Structure 1
Amino acid sequence: MKEIKEKWIYLDNNATTPIDKRVLESMMPFLTHNFANANSTHQFGRHVSSVVRNVRKQIGELIYAEPDEIIFTSGATEAINLAIKGVAASYSHKGNHIVTASTEHAAVLDTCRYLESKGYEITYLSVMPNGLIDLNELKSSLRNDTILVSVMYVNNETGVIQPIKEISQLSHEVGALFMCDGTQAVGKLPVNVDELDIDLMSFSGHKFYAPKGIGGLFLRKRGNRVKLEALLHGGGHEGGSRSGTLNVPGIVALGKASSIAKEEMLQDAERIKALRDELESRLLKFPGAYVNGDVRNRLYNVTNICFPCQDANVIIGRLKNISVSNGSACTAAIIEPSHVLRAMGLTDEDAFASIRFSAGKFNTKEDITATIEAINTIIMPILI
């Protein structure tokens, strides 16, 4: 592999984040000498099992859940599949209607399309031009046979934050469960599953400085306990919800990332927002440039900017040592306009002219300055 000698400027933190060195250090002993299976009954295994129990507590403290309400998965995609398919199977006696939004991540949309092929009825809510759903449309879509409403907390492409508490309240009024894809929120924003009245919530470690391959699902067990049919069978791990040998190194890393986030996220947010705002204000000086999505209700690290009459792929390709994105990393290989931006009313041309910049806690002011200068050298000659 060719060595990259220039400094790499990474502004694609919504796709994945670098591992915090403290997180890496915490997991290393469990890749070397603390390698026991957490489900083994010998003393070595019981020690590792106690570590896993402590991680459940760490994650619970981050999102205000009980430790036994945390199910470990390989990431948010698995958690989403487990949640939606599991609810569909467990509550089919009540109905077969599910409500979601047209701007959800592919993990939600593809799972819902799969269920449609099995006879379930799915309502895909539209969004307003600012990316927010219309609560009146949601209310009119809910029925007595609605079993689940699934709306993401923070949109991965625009950073738009949905009114989660209002959505959960409307869902519960008709006896439906509310599932939230919290992938872009957990570890970045204060999330309280009790205050928001969330029944199920997915999250992924690599979105907040833990490694890839580890995530989880919050599954409410207090009050009206949520029932969930398992996807994976073979040992009854995770309380029967998800069989498979636990990824202990990843779990330990997720716990450490959760503890760091709880202590530092607000401080990080203030600094990251200042970097994002500086970048955004400078880039909006290009003729016709505008921000996609609601600028008041969005995550502090994201700006999705349309540069009319430009080709985002060309710009990205010419940013040799700068990483930015033109959409979700999970669908970036598909040469189609962003389904999120199209749902917000953008034309194909403007969707293809839009770039997402997502900063993280390791970015610096120098990164922002260099990015502005690099884009300036690419776009200005075209404008001239």
Structure 2
Amino acid sequence: MDTLTIKAKGISVTVDLTVGHLAEMTVDIDGRRLKPLHRAPWIDEPRETLPQDLPAGTVRLSGDFLCAPFSRSDVEEAPLHGWPANSPWDVVDSKATADGWRAVFRLQHKVMGATVEKILTLRDDHPFLYQEHVFSGGSGGISVAHHPMTVMKNGGKLAFSPKRFAATPDDPLEPDPARGRFRFAYPARSTDLTHFPAADGGTLDLTDYRMDQSREDFVTLVEADHGGPGWTALARQAEADLVLVLKNPAELPVTMLWISNGGRDYAPWSGRHRGVLGIEDGRTALGHATSLGDNWLKREGVATAFALAEGGNISFRHVIGALPQEAGGEPPRDIATAQGRMRLMAADGSTREVAFDSDFLRIGQSVSG
């Protein structure tokens, strides 16, 4: 596999250059080694044993990757989730900095005529990966999303920055019971994330990832107007850690949860893709054409694409991190970032602080497009 590994004190990230996925991330902290990202179980299997029509991004499914567009590529011909998730990236620059490491990658394909670059920054003793994507030039509009995936042996508990509501699309991911199964009602909506409508007429708790529910589900969370960073925190029970994903809501106003727990019976999933959660922060609806046209999110006042322009640039930033905590622990009640620190507030009022680049997400700056 064509990879590049970048390192700073206490953290390393490996990029699969064949598809631009983050193949591995390790955080060494408090005497422990944490691995917050997922790697599909079929990656090391011979290609000929997998279905021949699989997109390259599914064949190499791992960690996090850029979707541009998110979901269907039905404006410009490309595989599911677009060329950034399915084709090679070149290394433009990769070198140590005064306080860590910085690497720049460029997608070999253009997207809607735009050149796409991925900038990864690691800082010494920061348990976070700082990412930025930059689109230069092009024309038309592009929907985007990050696609970080984590995996759990025994489920976990979730917490979020304030959300306006959660909603499922019109149709489930696996409507055919001969191929898979789902648990949410489709379409459905709730302002209470602990009581989301279920397919059986009851409710399900979006903050509780349970391993005893075989399912393939998808739900979109719309950020509330709270003035701080958007964040998702997952306390993985068996792994005894806390996975953190952060964004600027002005850039990426929705967080989409992909719950993949043995809910697909066909290859390569074959019921073995279990305990996986995608925490997919984006500026998108489902599909490129839908994102550019009239859609339900736009009617809620939510942007679903960036506007590209010749001679112009658009960019957005994202953060993934991991911290140790006790097995069976709870996620934080709130997260605040300021003055080079992140403060995590627990339900009992106690706090914990870690090093964090509080200027990186550019909260409060205007975003166009």
State the TM-score bracket (shorter-chain normalisation).
under 0.3
Compute the TM-score of the two structures, normalised by the length of structure 2: 0.27
**Higher helix fraction (1 or 2):** 1
TM-score (norm 1): 0.27
The structure with the larger Rg is: 1
Higher percent of residues as strand: 2
